[in-house]
Amino acid sequence: MAQETSPSTLHKVRIWDLPTRLFHWLLAAAVTALVVTGNLGGNAMNWHLLLGYGVLALLLFRLLWGAAGGRWSRFASFVPTPSRLLRYLRGQGRADDSAGHSPLGALSVLAMLGVLAAQVGSGLLSDDEIAFSGPLARFVSGDTVAMATAYHAHWGPYLIYGLVALHLAAIVFYSLRGRGLVRAMLTGDKQLSDAVPASRDTWGRRLLAAVLAAAACAIAWWVRQLEATPF
Ligand code: HEM
> What CA–CA distances, in Å, run from 76 to 61, 70, 105, 210?
16, 11, 14, 22
- In the reported structure, the alpha carbon of residue 101 is separated from the centroid of ligand 1 by a whole-number distance in angstroms of 10
Query: Is pLDDT at 1 greater than 80 in this prediction?
Result: no
> Which tens digit of pLDDT belongs to each residue from 171-223?
999 989 887 899 999 999 999 998 899 999 999 999 999 999 999 999 999 99
DSSP H helical ranges for 125-202:
142-150, 156-176, 181-187
Contact 58, 30 (CB under 8 A): yes
> Which tens digit of pLDDT belongs to each residue from 39-81?
999 999 999 999 999 999 999 999 999 999 999 999 999 999 9
Give the whole-angstrom CA distance, residue 107 versus residue 87: 15
User: pTM of the full predicted structure?
Assistant: 0.94
86-107 per-residue burial string, b: 16 or more CB within 10 A, e: under 16: ebbeeeebeebbbbbbbbebbe
The CB density around residue 35, as the number of other CB atoms within 10 Å, is 16
DSSP 55-122: HHHHHHHHHHHHHHS-GGGSHHHHS--HHHHHHHHTT---HHHHHSS-HHHHHHHHHHHHHHHHHHHH
Nearest CA to ligand 1 atom 24: 28
- In the reported structure, the alpha carbon of residue 138 is separated from the centroid of ligand 1 by a whole-number distance in angstroms of 34
The share of the chain scoring above pLDDT 70, in percent, equals 95
**Is the minimum distance from the CB of 27 to ligand 1 under 6 angstroms?**
yes
The residue to mutate among 163, 185, 190, 191, having the most atoms of ligand 1 within 8 angstroms of its beta carbon, is 185
